């Protein structure tokens, strides 16, 4: 993959125009299920982040929700789970996104790797991660991250940085670092969500803005690993 960077004088954004010269994605290249194709691209992005090092945070995922008034919201999280059920992440269930999901249990998420001219989009309904899954993940987190989860009433206002740090110090004193991995319990308000997709799009940037977009659309029951549940179509770039 290489690209031609041309200064088009885009003073408004400071951007230069890049001609995307990725490998593209043809119907012949596409694997037979959305899970297989997503797994391949995610694994390749993670590998590239270690080798070429031009993909930073390969698991960074934009998560869009809709609030009770119908207004969209979006933020970045780290994808912590990917299996045949869909991509998942951890967060505070009482955050803004948590309230939005409670009002409208739908979500769209996107993983984007500009250096690879690739993106994946998932759209569907949302389910909460089950507690066993959350517990298991929680115990893999470093102590300081677990204290931070206890400290933060995520998305609520805080008067100052000093207040936040004082709250952290109180939680650190409440749950001292014993070096053991079960010293800090999982807060009730902490957990995560998984998108259960009805649509998965694979976007591959190509020359002259003639990009490839292959979309799996749900046509029956079954998870992301069930070929019979999906139909593939191509969309215009
Ligand atoms: C690279 C990156 C990774 C992040 N990962 C997470 C995450 O895994 N979980 C999370 O709750 N917030 C994460 N955040 C913070 C969120 O973007 C956001 O600020 C927070 O979840 C509150 O969002 P909300 O008020 O819409 O609920 C991350 C931010 C960045 C930039």
pLDDT in tens, 124-141: 999 999 999 999 999 999
**pLDDT at position 181, please?**
63
Residue 34 has pLDDT above 60, yes or no: yes
Reported as a single tens digit per residue, the pLDDT across 151-207 is 999 999 999 999 999 999 999 999 999 887 678 999 999 999 999 999 999 999 999
Q: Is 168 helix (H, G, I), strand (E, B) or coil?
A: helix
Mutate to test the pocket of ligand 1, among 67, 72, 76, 95 (most ligand atoms within 8 A of CB): 76
How many separate helices (H) and strands (E) can be counted in the chain? 5, 11
Is 145 inside any structural domain?
no
**pLDDT at position 16, please?**
67
Ligand 1, closest atom to CA 98? Answer: 27
Is 177 inside any structural domain?
no
Q: What residue numbers bound the domain in which 102 lies? A: 20-138+195-234
Is 187 inside any structural domain?
no
Ligand 1, closest atom to CA 74? Answer: 26
CATH code of 111's domain: 2.30.110.10
Confidence of residue 118 (pLDDT cuts 50, 70, 90): very high
Radius of gyration of the chain (CA): 20
Annotate 102-131 with three-state secondary structure.
Answer: HHCCEEEEEEEEHHHCEEEEEEEEEEECCH
Q: Is 171 helix (H, G, I), strand (E, B) or coil?
A: helix
Is 83 inside any structural domain?
yes
Is 74 inside any structural domain?
yes
Domain count for the chain:
1
Is 143 inside any structural domain?
no
Is 186 inside any structural domain?
no
Residue 1 has pLDDT above 60, yes or no: no
Instruction: List, by residue number, the catalytic residues.
Output: 209
CA distances from residue 205 to 72, 105, 202, 222 in whole angstroms, order as listed: 26, 31, 10, 29
Ligand 1 site residues, Cβ closer than 6 angstroms: 57, 60, 73, 75-78, 89-91, 95-97, 154-155
Taking the C-alpha atoms of residue 139 and residue 146, their distance in angstroms, rounded to an integer, is 9
Residue whose CA is at the smallest distance from ligand 1 atom 18: 75
């Amino acid at each position: 993959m290489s690209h031609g960077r041309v200064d088009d004088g885009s003073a408004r954004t400071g951007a230069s125009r890049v001609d995307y010269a990725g490998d593209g994605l043809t119907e012949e290249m596409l694997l037979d299920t959305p899970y297989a194709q997503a797994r391949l691209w995610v694994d390749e992005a993670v590998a590239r982040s270690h080798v070429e090092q031009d993909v930073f945070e390969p698991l960074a995922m934009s998560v869009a929700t809709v609030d009770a008034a119908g207004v969209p919201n979006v933020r970045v999280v780290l994808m912590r789970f990917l299996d045949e059920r869909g991509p998942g992440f951890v967060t505070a269930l009482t955050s803004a996104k948590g309230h939005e999901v409670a009002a409208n249990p739908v979500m769209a998420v996107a993983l984007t790797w500009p250096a690879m001219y690739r993106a994946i989009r998932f759209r569907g309904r949302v389910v909460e991660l089950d507690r066993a899954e959350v517990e298991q993940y929680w115990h893999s987190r470093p102590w300081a991250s677990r204290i931070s989860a206890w400290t933060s009433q995520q998305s609520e206002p805080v008067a100052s940085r000093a207040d936040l740090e004082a709250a952290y110090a109180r939680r650190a004193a409440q749950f001292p670092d014993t070096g053991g991995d079960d010293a800090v319990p999982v807060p009730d308000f902490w957990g995560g969500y998984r998108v259960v997709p009805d649509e998965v799009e694979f976007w591959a940037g190509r020359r002259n803005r003639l990009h490839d977009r292959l979309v799996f659309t749900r046509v029956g029951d079954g998870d992301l690993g069930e070929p019979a549940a999906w139909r593939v179509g191509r969309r215009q770039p």
